[in-house]
Structure 1
Amino acid sequence: MEAKAVAKFIRVSPRKTRLVAETVKGKPVEDALNVLRFTPKKPARILSKVLYSAIANAEQKPGVDVDALVIDKIIVNEGPTWKRIKPRAMGRAYRIRKRTSHITVVVKEA
């Protein structure tokens, strides 16, 4: 039995989020939460929230042992990019791209 949680339009770069997601992919949820708790990066906090949501979704299904859950997939896709400008010297403007992410966490019983 598998359960899934999705977070969309999260204001963190997908490239940086994938680095943190690769560290917990395939691990039991308890170990993954401990790794994320002590990872000093912004995506770690966001990923732990999505993982907690996936665990809560799994608890809703009958006959699921929460202690035996393992992270099956973590998918980090690119969301829409916010475009801003930064004024520069002599009337120029540089483009700033504020990237967003769509994060999907799938957990299943081992």
Structure 2
Amino acid sequence: MITGAHAILYSSAAEEVRTFLHDVLGFGSVDAGGGWLIFALPPAELAVHPTGGGSSTELYLMCDDIEATLAELKTKGVECQPVTDQGWGLLSRLTLPDGSGLGIYQPRHPSP
């Protein structure tokens, strides 16, 4: 039986992103050996969306109040994109220390 999911962020600045996940987002972690940190995540959901061909994978963080969450992250020096209303939720992107983005949204859809 499936007991969980494991997501991976690839980064040219892995140590800085790990520090961001721990110090800024407050994710707890364990050392899997040799300094390889595995971070605890909040409860997760999985959705499958149709495409015109091919496939891809995306990761989004979820929050209850996007304005308050982004305000708190900004006090920690996190660059955040303006919030956009997507109908299904309010969406923004955080800039990680390697310059890549990580989606964050306040859902309007029910959660399982």
TM-score by length of 1: 0.25
Identify which of structures 1 and 2 has the higher relative contact order when contacts are C-alpha pairs closer than 8 Å and 6+ apart: 1
Instruction: Decide which structure has greater helix share.
Output: 1
Instruction: Decide which structure has greater strand share.
Output: 1
TM-score by length of 2: 0.25
Please tell me whether Structure 1 or Structure 2 has the larger radius of gyration of its CA atoms. Answer: 1
